[in-house]
Structure 1
């Protein structure tokens, strides 16, 4: 079976990383995919990464060029779409042949106390959901997300394929390895890792406020973004900013806990990477995170903002045996339900079923 993934991404985001990771292992399950993405500087390095993994890439300036790829008789059974742009799916329906599967990584809702959720849903309906429904099928990355799209945006054709991560790359370290990593990285005392782009939905102000309330803990922030200058000005001395890093597996292994006060997720790869590394997660008590974290088992779900996060982190720092048990449960939860190969097998099976249904309906 042949599938064409098409994105309009001007740079690299979660949807693009998802394609890079999921396409190679799908080959073992009978699905061979190619990628079409814009021929712009922001995707150049990423396109080279795809090609290094043996993924055929079509760099395009207009969708007419992608349509030409379709017409050349490559025999794509499905076209899988993602878009960064408001009302961005309709251009695909006009220019390309399909049949179409919209791949939705959108965070769907901002979980902010007092936010009128009906207003936010109406905005998403106008900006994205109305267009997404134009595809024959929709895939999203969490059971919560699929249910939300059915319930609030009338997407009866939506399917959930939960994310998976590479459990060899993201693995726990033994005590000697962790000690060496912590020394190399300069981690001292109880270390709280926050890996996230510095944008409003990741709620970094709560990380900074928590650091002020727990000065005995060491907070390590990984990532960049438009909030970075303001966060650096506001941060106390127990916060370290590492910027963009390419050694995330080492950072997860070396940290004692991951803090994610996020206010918007569908299914967080950072959460899954931490869990796979045997690192418990302290996170906001929102629906998408509840799908991955059971209270007191793989981590802690927190309400109440910075005071709640500070109390949760202090509790874990004071109870290393409980922290260790959570780390073991965290790793097992990924092995049981969120491996990359399991994710690839699930997605490949679904895509083949959808293609067969489309063929039968012609």
Structure 2
């Protein structure tokens, strides 16, 4: 969003920059933002260097958009050269419950905390627009708002503005809000003094690194997204690589492990924004119920949430993997049903799940289904499981 002053409309002339900064901070807090910080729009060169190294390693996986114009993505001033100040804003979504408790309920689905409420993009962006309109009306300066929808590296920007620091899990950590902050930004032509960046307070702690089920952190502060459960269950479009299926457990949308174990969370207050509270169908739903969702039912259940954006087939693929990890024979009917799904992505995951739950049922189904299957990826699932004819021959 860009705001321009209306022709002939008198605006309040900017006064002391520090006073303007504090007026904006107070208004942002009144609108519901829990963290507000200011930084120069121009980012340091090392921000681009870090992104370029990440892309060079191939750690971005299928997220090709991250590799597009890394110079602009790493530096907001290149995105909009007229910008003078970046305002970083955060809203806490700290859960009222232990988000890892559901991992022990293998017949239930673990959905990341951020996706359990209303889509945060809509909530945060509406507040950003309200704040932007207030700034425009008060000082008549152009501005743009962003919330995960443009090439702005949000976590480094928030760190530069003093909202926190990037922890060893690469997410933003705050001494006040722990690892639970939704982020958004405003770029403005106002020239305002920057806040002091927060120094790193992780110390020798490596809890977030050690808990990762798939070993997605090659080093502190480095993430190989190709191994990250959040990436695999949300961004990755194809079959989930076999080596990661068992470690995924019952995590069907995102993963909270590295966030939830951060010691700084003990200082975080439960989210005050009602829109971030879990909605029906998102707090530990039964896997078998989710496996029965067709596209229309999926859209109805997750309307207004971030989950809807992933699409039904990718979501049910994840559900099938979780069913295979449930060790629950009562899941077999749901898995058998998914073998007839119209989506090859879902069928392939169901083949793997069937073998995990019952090798006998797998052999029975394979006898009649392998020959009729037309999709190469699904055929490979029937052939790749130890104990089938291909492996026995």
TM (norm. structure 2) is 0.22
Q: Which has the larger radius of gyration?
A: 2
Q: Which protein, 1 or 2, shows the higher relative CO under an 8 Å CA cutoff with sep ≥ 6? A: 2
Higher strand share: 1
